[in-house]
Amino acid sequence: MKQINITTPSKNYPVYVGEQAITKLGEVLQSLTPAPKNVLIITDHNVGELYLKDVQAELDQKFSYESFQIKPGDSQKSFENYYACQSFALEKGLDRTSVILALGGGMIGDIAGFVAGTYMRGIRFIQIPTTILAHDSAVGGKTGINHPEGKNMIGVFHQPEAVIYSTDFLSTLPENEIRSGFAEVIKHALIADPSFYEYLRKNITTLNDLKDEHLLNCLTRGIEIKNEVVSQDEREKGIRAFLNFGHTLGHAIEGELRYKDITHGEAVAHGMLFALSLKEETIQLGKNLKRWLHDLGYPTTPKNLSVSSLINRMKKDKKAAGRTINMVLLEQTGHPYIAPYQAIDLEEKLTEFLKEN
């Protein structure tokens, strides 16, 4: 098992990653002061069915606990479920010493973290991620829910006490979810670490390679890179924006497809290819990436996307200002920067890109 220490201006905490990392849970809870009165596990039905008992087994006889399950899917990161979690916590008498365990992928991490961040003005929580994508979401302290007007519109910054990443929990992930999470690993490599990118290119040639030592390396290096960025810019005033590489178009595609038929990371993969196509210096890198993604089974760009609707969505991106869309681009691997584009110019480039991809 590996341990990574996350340092942010507001809090330092450990991430335990590896087979059976869940066995750390009792120890982590015992080390907290004040000792928790009780523990609330929040999970979704899929993950609950598979792993709730493993988590409960770590708590049995040591801690009093309750569990609350919500339906799976990003649409469940909603006010209604937020309210239901808060009501459940109140009914079960959670107090300011209680601890919430977020058992699941990024959806659960975000909503359970937001419940913890706001229940009685904020109680402690522990992330127990169960997807590859969650290497990204479990670290950094962003929590929240969706509003019908937009994803992740309501939330707070709230850092966990610890992240316990039991890689044995990942063995049941469906293929599209493996691809979704691995796209974020590729993103971390591209924005920050050329040698890690080369390592991935060489060693991950099929999704089956994403296990054991390689999986552990992907998660730990991905988390380290995210930590390096976030520790310098916890509240996204500057370089944290680089983590949005591939996301300006990625989010627009997800939105256009109503968050169905494509996973977040698969959409981000298209966004990364588009970003790389924009500059002469990275066109070849983009072509190589495209071939590799194809070999890994990533879907081709969805047909019938409306360029003008995509551009409209990109204008609403949190980084956009008026008609200017700020794109994260690379000078080369490991060297991201922000490039402002006029919407009208980007529309032309996107039309061309969608024709070719």
Ligand X SMILES: NC(=O)c1ccc[n+]([C@@H]2O[C@H](COP(=O)([O-])OP(=O)(O)OC[C@H]3O[C@@H](n4cnc5c(N)ncnc54)[C@H](O)[C@@H]3O)[C@@H](O)[C@H]2O)c1
Binding stretches for ligand X (CB under 6 A): 44, 46-47, 50, 72-74, 77, 104-108, 110, 130-131, 133-134, 136-137, 140, 142, 152, 169-170, 172-173, 177, 180, 264
Shortest separation between residue 202's beta carbon and ligand X, angstroms: 26
Residue with tokens 């009208």: 344
- In angstroms, the CA 229 to CA 357 distance is 31
Q: Residue 270 annotated as binding? A: no
45 tagged catalytic: no
Q: Would you say the C-alpha torsion 318, 321, 327, 331 has a positive or negative sign?
A: negative
State the catalytic residue, choosing from 24, 124, 142, 221.
142
- In angstroms, the CA 58 to CA 23 distance is 7
If the CB atoms of residues 187 and 346 are measured against ligand X, the closer one turns out to be: 187
Closest to 158 (Cα-Cα) out of 133, 128, 184, 124: 124
Q: Residue 169 annotated as binding? A: yes
- In angstroms, the CA 27 to CA 162 distance is 11
If the CB atoms of residues 73 and 150 are measured against ligand X, the closer one turns out to be: 73
Shortest separation between residue 115's beta carbon and ligand X, angstroms: 14
Closest to 332 (Cα-Cα) out of 140, 192, 141, 133: 192
Shortest separation between residue 35's beta carbon and ligand X, angstroms: 28
Q: Residue 131 annotated as binding? A: yes
Residue 293 and residue 204 in contact, taking contact as beta carbons nearer than 8 Å: no
184 tagged catalytic: yes
Residue with tokens 């750390």: 24
Shortest separation between residue 15's beta carbon and ligand X, angstroms: 14
Residue with tokens 């977020």: 102
State the catalytic residue, choosing from 121, 258, 303, 355.
121
State the catalytic residue, choosing from 158, 226, 270, 290.
226
Would you state the structure tokens that stand for residue 178, as one six-digit string?
A: 């493996």
C-alpha distance across the termini of the chain, in Å: 41
Q: Kindly calculate the radius of gyration of the chain based on its CA atoms and give it in whole angstroms.
A: 20
If the CB atoms of residues 173 and 219 are measured against ligand X, the closer one turns out to be: 173
Q: Which long-range contacts (CB under 8 A, 24 or more apart) does 311-315 make?
A: 311/252, 311/343, 311/346, 311/347, 311/350, 313/251, 313/252, 313/255, 313/256, 314/248, 314/249, 314/252, 314/343, 314/346, 315/343
96 tagged catalytic: no
State the catalytic residue, choosing from 217, 227, 244, 326.
244
State the catalytic residue, choosing from 92, 214, 240, 318.
240
Q: Residue 184 annotated as binding? A: yes
If the CB atoms of residues 73 and 340 are measured against ligand X, the closer one turns out to be: 73
Would you state the structure tokens that stand for residue 51, as one six-digit string?
A: 């792993």
The residue with its CB nearest to ligand X is: 106
User: Residue 344, CB half-sphere, CA atoms under 13 Å: how many?
Assistant: 0
280 tagged catalytic: no
If the CB atoms of residues 130 and 277 are measured against ligand X, the closer one turns out to be: 130
If the CB atoms of residues 272 and 285 are measured against ligand X, the closer one turns out to be: 272
State the catalytic residue, choosing from 161, 177, 184, 234.
184
State the catalytic residue, choosing from 19, 66, 228, 236.
236
187 tagged catalytic: no
If the CB atoms of residues 180 and 248 are measured against ligand X, the closer one turns out to be: 180
Shortest separation between residue 74's beta carbon and ligand X, angstroms: 5
264 tagged catalytic: yes
Exposed, middle or buried: residue 46 (CB in 10 Å: 0-12, 13-18, 19+)?
middle
71 tagged catalytic: no
Residue 248 and residue 319 in contact, taking contact as beta carbons nearer than 8 Å: yes
* Residue 71 DSSP code: -
Query: Binding site: what residues are annotated?
Result: 130-131, 142, 151, 169-172, 184, 247, 264
The set of catalytic residues is 121, 142, 184, 226, 236, 240, 244, 247, 251, 264
Query: Binding site for NAD(+): what residues are annotated?
Result: 130-131, 142, 151, 169-172
Query: Binding site for Zn(2+): what residues are annotated?
Result: 184, 247, 264
